[in-house]
């Protein structure tokens, strides 16, 4: 029995967001899935994400919005590619076919429209169209937020929420997740994450660590603890958290969020001269099956970190060659267009750095330094590439680098560097 707080058919209609199903159970399960997505927490009371997705399909196999949220979550996870995963491609086709056979509201039909085109190409525009008339459609708001994150659209990331805020009222579900964060919802994962980032970006290491330790039960904040320990030179503490939490989550979930965190952390530590031993092999076991996916450039460069770190030259070459081929005929895929103008050079620069060719690394990476935002991710995540450029410039075999040039890169780094003195 689902909790009474989840909305049934009548409740959804009362909020101006009717769902085209006669099943109250399906409506409540839709709400349960959406709630877990917003909180970014598995709710075992409804079977977690997997259990509630299976249940909604059983409650009403033809419920279009049930398919929209279930398949949409798999797409937005960037774990798999419709180009290679026939099951996922079939799920997208099934959603469109169901929509074509039913009388849906214009809002629901717009939700389906985004499936017709490549995921990142037009989806955010479609979600924004939905929000013009339905500013309290949390699924459209959350999907667009993630879409902007993946494409590095920082202004849109902010403005998409700001535009709809006046239409949200305190009595509405999810209001606290938009407005007051931890003050009203202490277990809001993304609010905890945001506050931790503020401490990290201000280089307030001790305060940040105390905050994260106090909220560990509310959300897994281990990767940000790793960053903070590493930035303060406490490498053993960073490795301890990496071994006990970060890599375990990466291997258990296969989530791209966990996978890029593991890759980035080892890369940062290794650049600081920390011996990470055979830890790269564990990460490679997770990343290697995704070498040909090329869903996002952001994922690709983190997969490359793992194959380079594990000295798997074959996998590294395959990733580069695959990206080069897709860049030749990108079609309407925004990420593949980006591969031609940014991605291939990024991969080549990382490979040159790994081989000790620091002059070539700088030649490739320096012109791209202000374009890194286009690959998506957060400033803190992309910071690893600023650091890579700084380390290349600081390499002993490099020609003496202008102090002014080095200073400009240190200024670009989001927070203080790992005890690395530029002069």
* Structure token digits, residue 192: 């905890």
Which of the residue ranges 207-216, 344-353, 361-370 would you say has the lowest mean pLDDT?
207-216
Residue 369, classed as helix, strand or coil, is coil
pLDDT exceeds cutoff 50 at 414: no
C-alpha 180: how far from its chain's center? 23
- Residue at a domain's end among 179, 198, 223: 179
Q: What is the DSSP letter of 399?
A: P
- Entry pTM: 0.89
Indicate whether 186 pLDDT > 90.
Answer: no
Residue 40 lies in a domain: yes
Contact 228, 209 (CB under 8 A): yes
Q: Are residues 161 and 298 in the same domain?
A: no
Identify the CATH number of the domain in which residue 33 sits: 1.25.40
In a domain? residue 82:
yes
Residue range 169-175: mean pLDDT, rounded? 90
Domain span at 325: 276-412
The pLDDT, as a whole number, for residue 221 is: 55
294 occurs within a structural domain: yes
Q: What would the pLDDT profile of 26-83 be if each residue is shown by its tens digit?
A: 999 999 999 999 988 889 999 999 999 999 999 999 999 999 999 999 999 999 988 9
DSSP string, 119-140: HHHHHHHHHHHHHHH-TT-HHH
Provide the pLDDT for residue 47.
94
Looking at the structure, tell me whether residues 13 and 162 fall in a common domain: yes
**DSSP classification of residue 255:** -
Between these two residues, 403 and 362, which has the higher pLDDT value? 362
What is the radius of gyration, based on Cα positions, of the chain?
Answer: 22
**Does residue 344 lie within any of the structural domains?**
yes
In this structure, what is the dihedral angle of CA atoms 235, 237, 229, 257, given to the nearest 10 degrees? 100
Tell me: pLDDT of 340 over 50: yes
Q: Report whether 66 contacts 60 (CB < 8 A).
A: yes
Report H helices in 232-376. Answer: 235-241, 247-253, 256-271, 279-287, 297-309, 313-328, 334-338, 344-354, 358-365
Within this chain, do residues 171 and 280 fall inside the same structural domain, yes or no? no
CA distance 9 to 137: 15
pLDDT for the residue numbered 403 = 57
Q: Which of 154, 179, 204 is the last residue of a domain?
A: 179
pLDDT reported for residue 125: 92
User: At which of 128, 163, 179 does a domain end?
Assistant: 179
3-state secondary structure of 353: helix
Asked if 362 and 353 touch (Cβ cutoff 8 Å), the reply is no
- Whether residue 230 is contained in a domain is answered as no
Residue 39 domain-assigned (yes or no): yes
Which H helix or E strand runs over 203? none
Residue 94: inside a domain: yes
> What's the rounded Cα separation, in Å, for the pair 319 and 168?
45
Half-sphere exposure of 77 (CA within 13 A, CB side): 20
* Tokens 């594990």, located at residue: 310
Number of folded domains that form the chain: 2
Identify the pLDDT of residue 420: 36
pLDDT at 267 over 90: yes
| Position 216 in a domain | no
């Amino acid at each position: 029995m689902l909790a009474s707080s989840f909305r049934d058919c009548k409740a959804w209609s009362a909020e101006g967001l009717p769902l085209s199903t006669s099943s109250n159970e399906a409506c409540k399960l839709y709400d349960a899935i959406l709630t877990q997505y917003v909180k970014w927490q598995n709710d075992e009371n409804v079977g977690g994400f997997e259990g509630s997705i299976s249940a909604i399909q059983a409650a009403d196999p033809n419920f279009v919005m049930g398919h929209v949220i279930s398949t949409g979550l798999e797409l937005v996870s960037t774990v798999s590619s419709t180009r290679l995963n026939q099951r996922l491609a079939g799920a997208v086709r099934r959603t469109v076919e169901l929509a074509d056979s039913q009388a849906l509201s214009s809002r629901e039909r717009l939700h389906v429209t985004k499936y017709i085109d490549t995921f990142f190409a037009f989806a955010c525009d479609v979600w924004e169209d939905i929000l013009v008339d339905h500013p309290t459609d949390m699924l459209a708001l959350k999907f667009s937020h993630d879409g902007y994150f993946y494409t590095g659209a920082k202004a849109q990331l902010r403005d998409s929420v700001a535009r709809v805020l006046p239409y949200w009222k305190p009595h509405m579900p999810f209001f606290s997740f938009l407005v007051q964060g931890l003050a009203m919802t202490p277990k809001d994962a993304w609010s905890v994450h945001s506050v931790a980032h503020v401490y990290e970006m201000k280089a307030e290491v001790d305060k940040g660590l105390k905050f994260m330790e106090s909220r560990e039960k509310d959300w897994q904040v281990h990767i940000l603890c790793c960053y903070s320990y590493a930035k303060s030179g406490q490498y053993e503490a960073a490795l301890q958290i990496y071994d006990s939490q970060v890599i375990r989550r990466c291997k258990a979930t296969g989530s791209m969020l966990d996978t890029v965190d593991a890759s980035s952390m080892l890369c940062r530590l290794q650049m600081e001269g920390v011996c990470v031993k055979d830890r790269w092999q564990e990460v490679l076991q997770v990343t290697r099956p995704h070498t040909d996916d090329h869903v996002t450039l952001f994922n690709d460069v983190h997969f490359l970190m793992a194959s380079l770190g594990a000295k798997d030259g074959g996998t590294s070459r395959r990733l580069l060659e695959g990206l080069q081929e897709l860049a030749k005929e990108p079609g309407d895929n925004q990420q593949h267009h980006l591969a031609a103008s940014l991605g291939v050079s990024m991969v080549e620069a990382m490979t040159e750095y790994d081989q000790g060719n620091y002059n070539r690394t700088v030649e490739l990476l320096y012109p791209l330094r202000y374009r890194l935002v286009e690959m998506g991710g957060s400033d803190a995540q992309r910071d690893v590439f600023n650091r890579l450029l700084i380390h290349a410039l600081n390499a002993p075999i490099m020609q003496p680098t202008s102090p002014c040039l080095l200073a400009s890169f240190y200024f670009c780094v989001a927070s203080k560097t790992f005890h690395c003195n530029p002069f």
